[in-house]
Amino acid sequence: MKKICILTVMCFLLNACTDKLELSPLDSISTQNFFKTQEDFDLAVNGLYNYMQGKGNVGRNGVYAGDLYWEVASDAAYFQFSWHTPWYDISNGNLAPTTDNVRFIWDYGYRAIGWANTILDNMDKASIDANTKKIYEGEVKFLRAITYLRMVSLYGDVPLVLKQLPVSEAKVPRDSKESVLTQVVADLDEAAQKLSLTPFNSQKGRATKQAALGMKVRALTYAASPLFNPSGDTKKWEAAKTAASELMTIATQNPTLVGLESSYDNIFSVSNEDNKEVLFNIEYTANNSQEGGNNLLPFGPRTLPTQGGVAGGWGSSAITPEYADSYLMKDGLTAATSPLYSAANPWANRDPRFYTTYFVAGISTLPDGSIFNIDRVNSFPGGTFQAAYPMSIRKGVDPSAKNQAYDNEQAPNTIVLRYADVLLMYAEAQNEISGPDATVYAAINQIRSRAGLPNLATGLSKDAMRTAIQNERKWELGYEGVRYFDIRRWKIADAVLNNLPKGPTLNVTPAKKFVATKHYWWPLAQSTIDANPKLIQNDGY
């Protein structure tokens, strides 16, 4: 099975290259001489996927760029590289319309949307067999939808553009986030109807029916959450629950194609990428072409004894003590209440997911059987902090990476959505509708059982279950780029980010800061507003 072909235009025309090269941006070519053959559409759709990728080690070159940089925006990690913008400014609460690169998702988003609209507007120009045309329409609608979902989740109201616009009509105002999310759901519905459970031509990384349905659950969950739904309209939660139920039924009917992996650790194994739990991810290949993920350099440990030809982490980040402390012991109790906790060895006997999420000194085993030691930890500020929190981020870091260029060459894919997330969104929706019934417990306990934890205690109130779900998402989806979006949609970001006292005590600076209600939305870049006066800035900026 192959990954998506990423081809340069010139290589494609000369028919002289392999299937793992980079696609040049196609938004500048003349559509008058393009879109005539199926090969043109093959290239065009592959180019649209390329807009999703992030390239380079600063996490801002694509709609779904960012990788572990999203964690420095949340309560999972601190960050000290002031030149890595906008992440540094988000992390310390100084995000502004003049922050460098605050417009990167806006820019890449509208490039992707413009190219998606161009493909759709030209779909009838070429002789394409009906089935291929249907699949490509589904993929393009999917990619346009998830692009708008990313944008609306950060900026709120954004212009909703569904066709090619001439330059004279390009300056348009923002549309409401409600109307944008409605269109996102409509596009994902259409995509799900046109796509199958297996990717087109068996090419890993292409959109599938389960990807479209899963992202629909995410869109509807966002729409129902307090940030988007301040009135608490339960009909919105009903829609999210119904969408999740549909995908859960498909998983039951197709257990080899959709569902939970049996092992939590195996979800993230480089040898098991694109497994049935991964509904959609960004494909990366470490082949010295800048087509790899960027987790290792800014965030990873020093070069491991099992790695070769890689630079190792830069020491730009530090794990947030409160986040690491929050993980339960493996008996399901907190460190404060569990008999398994030992002050002499505080990181032993934790929730097994802890050891998939972090390399822990004295505990984590590397592929050659050696034990990860504290000298490999590469976080700031060092000294007392590293002694107290002797760990580095493990998710997204290949401990066996060999002979790769230093820049952006990690092979692990970036997971956008997996099935466990859908189960937790189902539980969240059902709990908000009527409280914790048996189906809520069943959804969560599937995940806890797979992790090796006991089931949740029964008899929880609606409020207690809400907290339990939020915590379960924190531990299950940790360092997967989800937490920042969760704490914002729940409208708890200010409470969470402004209450992290351990970092400053251990000399971690700058401290986290989140200004409510201002920082619940990103500002539009001042340069974007200058170019289009019809755009109105978000409140507080």
Predicted model pTM:
0.93
With beta carbons less than 8 A apart as the criterion, state whether 150 and 215 touch: no
Percent of the chain with pLDDT over 70: 91
* Residue labelled with tokens 């572990």: 68
* 38 in a structural domain: yes
Query: From start to end of 177-259, where are the E strands?
Result: 203-204
CATH code of the domain covering residue 124: 1.25.40.390
The model's pLDDT over 24-43, given as tens digits with 9 standing for 90+, comes to 344 445 667 799 888 999 99
Cis peptide preceding 523, ω within 30 of 0: no
* 87 in a structural domain: yes
Report the relative pairing of strands 414-418 and 278-282 from DSSP bridges: antiparallel
* 203 in a structural domain: no
- Domain total for the chain? 1
* 7 in a structural domain: yes
The model's pLDDT over 40-80, given as tens digits with 9 standing for 90+, comes to 999 999 999 999 987 777 889 899 999 899 999 999 999 99
Residue 4 has pLDDT above 80, yes or no: no
Q: Which domain holds residue 107?
A: 2-194+522-531
Average pLDDT in the chain: 91
The model's pLDDT over 425-436, given as tens digits with 9 standing for 90+, comes to 999 999 999 999
* 122 in a structural domain: yes
pLDDT band at 19, cuts 50/70/90? very low
* 454 in a structural domain: no
With beta carbons less than 8 A apart as the criterion, state whether 330 and 449 touch: no
Q: Could you give the C-alpha distances from 428 to 18, 280, 431, 442, 468, in angstroms and in order?
A: 45, 21, 5, 12, 10
Q: Which residues pair with 365 in a beta bridge?
A: 371
* 500 in a structural domain: no
Token digits of residue 505: 């005590």
d(CA 207, CA 409): 24
d(CA 216, CA 202): 23
* 162 in a structural domain: yes
d(CA 415, CA 66): 12
pLDDT band at 396, cuts 50/70/90? confident
d(CA 151, CA 170): 18
